[in-house]
Amino acid sequence: MTRSIRTATAIALTVAIVAVSGMTLGAVADAKAFPSGNTHATPEMQANFPDLF
């Protein structure tokens, strides 16, 4: 019984870590893909890469 509880706990912790990591990576990817208006890009960067801004 104790072994199955430990196994279930390990699985639950692994799933939780993966879920949290995935959400964090998703948030980072979203921020990179859709930056806010405050990009701190110089006018030169905006001129060289108009599709990004």
- Token pair 């959400």: residue: 23
Q: Is 34 helix (H, G, I), strand (E, B) or coil?
A: coil
CA-angle at 22, arms to 17 and 2, nearest 5°: 20
Q: Dump pLDDT digits (tens) for 35-52.
A: 666 667 788 888 898 887
Report pLDDT for 36. 67
**What is the model's pTM?**
0.42
